[in-house]
Structure formats: structure tokens, C-alpha cells
Chains A and B, each alone.
Chain A
Amino acid sequence: MKCWIAGVAVLGAGLPGWTAGEAALAGTAPWCMGDVVPPPPALLPPTERRRTSPAVRLALAVAAEATAGIEDRAALETVFASSNGDGAVVGGILEALHDPAGIALSPTQFHNSVHNSAAGYWHIAVGSTAPSISLGGHDGSFATGLLAAVMAVATRGTSVLLCAYDLPLPVPLAAVRPTGPGFATALVLRPEPVAGAMARLSLRHVAEPAPAAPPSDALDALAEGNPAARALPLLRALAARRLARIGLPLTADTHLALELDPC
């Protein structure tokens, strides 16, 4: 299967956006650890904006950056992938369910707890009625999202916005699911090489573990710690405009074999 990458975004530690982070990703400027501060989503009306959690803000920030200037933004099908989902909201509900003073859940928190809340807010933000799917996948959530997105492009000839995001969980869940600094990325995938396309991406599923790739620098270490950041090898090759073959683990015993061919 193949598709063309026609938009990209990133938001992570020391990577405050694609334009601002491209040189660090390409290796032409140093990368330094920094805070991840998802901005309030400007695309949403103020009432909805106030209800968004950090996870939703993180997802919408990259979705907005990757689609900035794209005319058919509302027509893009979407794939949202996250391992931890909205851990702050789910954790808050779990606390409230065990409040000795009695159970009083917030209705807004409850509808924000669904795994597709980021997708829901995105489609409200851009007025999109296009199909959308939200996926889990534990450590393989980015690979899962990429697989679903490329399948949609290849089998239905549609254009897809892929958004992968993960934040650390609150205590006490953080201890049983340690997650590195927040990270999100988004890609716009097209069935044809449109003007401005950055690269052609080919994908194969291989029913064998991914080839071992021990971390060789600080960005590789960042990728290890956060499921969404496992996109980094692909993002680094894209930033460097480098032909690349990447083995991206899907499950412990399978992987996606990616081939990136810059336009």
C-alpha cells in the first residue's frame, strides 16, 4: 500500500511545531528537552474551548498545524490514535467514583472521557461530517493509526488526517503505565501526489518482530517513552528529506515495514 504525505505537524518536548522543530528533527540544529504546552484550540468556539482537556488540546494543535492552508480540511476523513486517551479525565472520574463524600460525576467530564473525544472536538472545530475513527493500540498506537489511515487511503481512495497523541497519566495510574513527556503528531495522507506533497510512503505488514533499533540519541530515547513519539523515526526522515526504510513495531511480534521516498 502507498500514499503521499501532504501535511505534517509535531508537538513535543523541544519540538514546538513542525516549522520550529524541523531543523532539530533533521539533525541540522541541536535538540533540547523543553516543556510541552498545548495551546487552547483557537478553532473552537469559546464555550467548547473551555471544556477541552490538555489531551484534546494536544491533539487539536497538531491536527490544526498539519491542515493549515488545506482547502478541503473539513472533507478529510480522520484517524485518531492514542494509547492513554484522556487519562486526566478518566483518572478524575475514577477518583470521583471513590470519593468517600459520595459520587458526583460531572456530565461534561463523562462525555469527555470517551476515547473519541479529541476526534469529536476536531470535527466540531472544522465543521466536518467526514467519517472518523479513534483507535487504541498500547505501545503500537501510532503504528495502528498509520495502518488504519493508509488502508483508508489505499482501499477507498480517500484523503485522511492522521492524529496521534499521548500524555502521561495522572497518579496512581502513572505508576502502572509510565509515559514520557507529552507528544503528538499529525499527517495528511493523500492517494495521489498532489502539489506540495512531501514524500511517498509505502507500508507493508510483516508478521515478525521489528528489527532491533536501540536508541542512539536523545530523540530516540524520547520515542521510547511515549507511544505517539514512536512516529519520530518517520518524522526525522521526513524532516531530513531522506529516503528511509523504517521498521515500526505494531504488536510485540509484528511490525510495519515503511519506505519513505521524498518528493
Chain B
Amino acid sequence: MPDRSPLWPLSLAAATTVTALGAGIAPLRRALHAREGGLRPSEFPGGPEDIWVGQVPGVEAVELPPGLARFACRNNRLAEMALASDGFAEAVAAAVARHGPERVAVVLGTSTAGIEETEQAYSRRDGAGALPASFDYAGSHDLQSLPAYVRARLGLRGPAFAVSTACTSGARSMLEAASLIASGLADAVVAGGVDSLCRLTLHGFASLELLSRGRPTRPCAADRDGISIGEAAGLVLLTRPEHAPPGAPLLLGAGASSDGHHMSSPHPEGLGAVSAMRAALDAAGLTPGEVDYVNLHGTGTRANDAMEDRAVHHMFGDDVPCSSTKGWTGHALGASGAVEAVIAMLCLEDGLVPGCLGVAERDPEFRSAIAIANQARPVRRIASNSFGFGGSNCCLLIGQAA
């Protein structure tokens, strides 16, 4: 076949995340070990009552660099917090120095970009219904505002685009990143996702009666009653292994599929989830027995967790420990897959299986090895699942350097 080169593995040459636990990997790592979640009763202005959310402290105070003020919105402030954490911007600068700015691409997932800015602008419509003159559509509301901001902030000149496949966006971006590198268009790609709290998603999930009420989300619990929405940024720098620092973890493979079943309900038997996991294993050349931990999509809804248990049990059987980490971060929608890729990296490093948070009793119907307490054990390879509205499925396989 012409033009083809192997897609996998890639190296996760740098990574960072900003979650309800704070900016950077360190507070998230500390919280995972201490089993202290970041969800709090929602005080988000204009949001639904009686819910818990994973709000990032300090977002409002973030200022974008001079010259990039047109990109000011909650989502790009979150992106800026991530760029300034864990030496991420410096790692990208090193990739630029090595490969040139036109060889570093940006592929970022988001479901709502800067729509929170649009919501505020709607509140300030004039008597004729027009939006305020200060509202910058392309800099905030448009999906492209996120990759455009990150590209401008980092001084990149490679391809840059936004992936928006609902809650798989952050994970799905990494498949496109692999294509960019394999096709020779880029040597390094900033991938991942950023999604921020907004009234559209809070009230939207409330309208579907999918939000956990009065308490934080409890994925895989017998008494689970829904999602706690979070906001987050998860960024990774993907390169070929020979261009990464020694020992950098690997993105061993990724797989995607569609349900072709329903817009907002997963296929009950998890057929799409199974085919995404199988595609990821095939891409990585791995068997299910070589996976040490499955980080579930685990949103805490009745339907998702039941479907995912069936799919994961079908693939991995009785013994591979699996859990959802959304009890710590909330469900960060289009950023969740990227955040959980970063969580996978720290689980590899620390030998940690973080058991689902806040679960008194597992769903007795579940057959997978759902962990509800932390386990210290060697973890060499992790499967990380993401599923979304529209029947979108994606699975990433992340492992220690060979």
C-alpha cells in the first residue's frame, strides 16, 4: 500500500491536566492516593439546583497573554491553566526547537468550546436582541477557538483543528494525532481536550434526568443515580518514541467505533464499546490478557455503567480490575478521555488501581472486577474507555515504555 507507515506506538512525551482537584498532575495524584474527590455542591451561576459539580478553582482569574485577548472565554482560560502546568508549554517549545513550528500540529477535543461566553453574551443582548459588540464568536463560541488559541499561544504553524464527538472528543483527538504523524504531516502533536462548565450542558443533562442529585456521582454503585458534570483540560504531546524523553509512557494503540443504535442511549449489549476496545487491542497488537487495568468511561448513569460492565466483562473477563475515576473529577465531557489518559499515565508510574470513589456497594448485577478501594499493584498496560452521544466510542491503550 502506498504512503502507509505504522501508526503505533507513539510516545506521550509530555502531559498535563487541570481538574477540580487543581492545576497540574500533582494535586490529582495526591487526591487519587488519598481518595479525596474534587466534587462540591454546585454554585455555578444559573445552573440547576441540588447537584454536585467538578469546578476548577481559579478559572475566572486567569488572564490570557497580551495579544490573545480575543480568545478570552472560560474554555480557553482552562486551556491556558493547562499550558502553564507541568512544564507543558516548555516541552512543546522544545519540540518546536527540534522539529520547527510548522511540524507541530494541534488536535483538540471539545464539546462546547466557549459557549459559556455566548451564554453570558445572551444575558447582555440589547433591546433589539443583538449580542454585545464585545462578543467575539470565532475567538470563543466556535469549536476552532480552542485549537486556534493553543496554536497561537505556543507559536505553532502546523495543522490545527477541533474534534467534537461529544464525550469521546478528548480521546478521539489522539487517533487523528497518530494519523498526522504517520502521514508525515507532523512530528509532534498537541492533543487532548478541554471542556468547561456551562448552563447548556448542566441543564441539558438535567433535562435527560441523567444528573446525580444531592450527592456526588457514584459510578458502578448499586445506588448510582447519574452524572456529576466536571470541567477539565487534559493535554498530551505525542511524538514518535525516538523523539521522546527516555522512559516516556506509550500510547500503544487506539480504536474507535459507532453504535449506529440511538442518539443518547448506548447499545444495551455494548457492541460498539466492544468493537472499539477490540480495535484498540488490534492496533496495539495486544491480547486482553496483557491489560492490567481498565479505566472505565463510568459516568455513573444506570445505562452507561451497565452497558460498559457487559462490554468490559466480554472483553476482559472476571479478573482484570476496572474502575471509573469520575468520582474525583466529575464527567468532564469532551475533556474526559484526555484527563483519563493522564490518569492512566500516573497509574502506570505509581502502580495504582484507583477504586471507584464513594461506592458503598457495587452493582450486584455487574460481573467485571470493579475496584472500589485503591490497590497497589504493578500496572504495565491500561485500557481507557470513552463513549458519547451520537453513539461514538473510543478506547486508548496506554503502557509503560518498553
Interface residues of A (CB under 8 A from B): 1-2, 51, 74, 78, 83, 85, 90, 93-95, 97-98, 103-107, 110-117, 119-121, 123-124, 126-138, 140, 144, 147-148, 151-152, 154-157, 171-173, 175-177, 191, 205, 207, 250-251, 253-254
Contact = CB atoms under 8 A, between A and B. Distances in A.
A251 B157 CA distance: 9
Contacts of B182: 151, 155
A97 B162 contact: no
B389 interface: yes
A1 B186 CA distance: 13
A123 B144 contact: no
Interface string B30-45: 0000000000000000
Nearest to A95: B122
B256 interface: yes
A134 B163 contact: yes
B203 interface: yes
A139 to B, nearest CB: 9
Given A152-B179, A155-B5, A120 B161 contact: no
A120 B200 contact: no
A129 B160 contact: no
Contacts of A155: 3-5, 7, 178-179, 182-183
B158 interface: yes
B260 interface: yes
Interface in B148-206: 148, 151, 157-166, 172, 175-176, 178-180, 182-183, 185, 199-200, 203-206
Nearest to B205: A110
A138 B1 contact: no
B119 interface: yes
Contact of B256 (A117, A131, A250): A131
B208 interface: yes
A147 B158 CA distance: 13
Given A148-B179, A151-B185, A154-B2, 14 more contacts: A107-B207, A111-B208, A114-B390, A123-B391, A133-B165, A138-B142, A138-B143, A147-B161, A177-B137, A191-B1, A207-B102, A251-B160, A254-B157, A254-B158
Contact of B137 (A78, A121, A176, A251): A176
A124 to B, nearest CB: 5
B186 to A, nearest CB: 9
B166 A116 contact: yes
A85 B113 CA distance: 12
Contact of B275 (A83, A106, A129, A175): A129
A112 B389 CA distance: 9
Contacts of A205: 158-159, 185
Contact of A98 (B122, B148, B162): B122
B261 A116 contact: no
Given A114-B389, A123-B391, A154-B183, A147 B131 contact: no
B366 interface: no
21 contacts: A1-B183, A93-B200, A94-B122, A94-B200, A97-B200, A105-B204, A107-B207, A112-B263, A115-B143, A116-B166, A121-B263, A123-B260, A128-B258, A132-B258, A136-B161, A138-B143, A154-B2, A172-B125, A173-B118, A251-B159, A253-B157
B129 interface: yes
Given A124-B261, A177-B142, A132 B256 contact: yes
B159 A250 contact: yes
A120 B183 contact: no
Given A97-B122, A116-B165, A171 B172 contact: no
A136 B144 contact: yes
Contacts of B69: none
Given A111-B264, A116-B389, A207-B157, A132 B208 contact: no
A136 B143 contact: yes
A251 B115 CA distance: 22
Contacts of B141: 173, 177
Contacts of B279: 131
B61 interface: no
Interface string B246-267: 0000000001111111111000
B111 interface: yes
B106 to A, nearest CB: 10
Given A94-B118, A154-B3, A176-B137, A120 B389 contact: yes
A106 B194 CA distance: 25
Select the residue from B46, B119, B158, B200 with max chain A CB neighbours within 10 A.
B200
A171 to B, nearest CB: 7
Contact of B260 (A128, A171, A207): A128
A131 B272 CA distance: 10
Contacts of A130: 257-258
Contacts of B256: 131-133
B138 interface: yes
Most chain B Cβ neighbours within 10 Å, of A2, A107, A120, A130: A120
A95 B119 CA distance: 9
A205 B157 CA distance: 11
A91 to B, nearest CB: 10
Interface in B201-253: 203-209
A151 B183 contact: yes
B161 A114 contact: no
B308 to A, nearest CB: 17
A132 B165 contact: yes
Interface string B366-390: 0000000000000000000000111
B164 A120 contact: no
Of the candidates B137, B160, B161, the one having the most CB atoms from chain A within 10 angstroms of its own CB is B161
A114 B179 contact: no
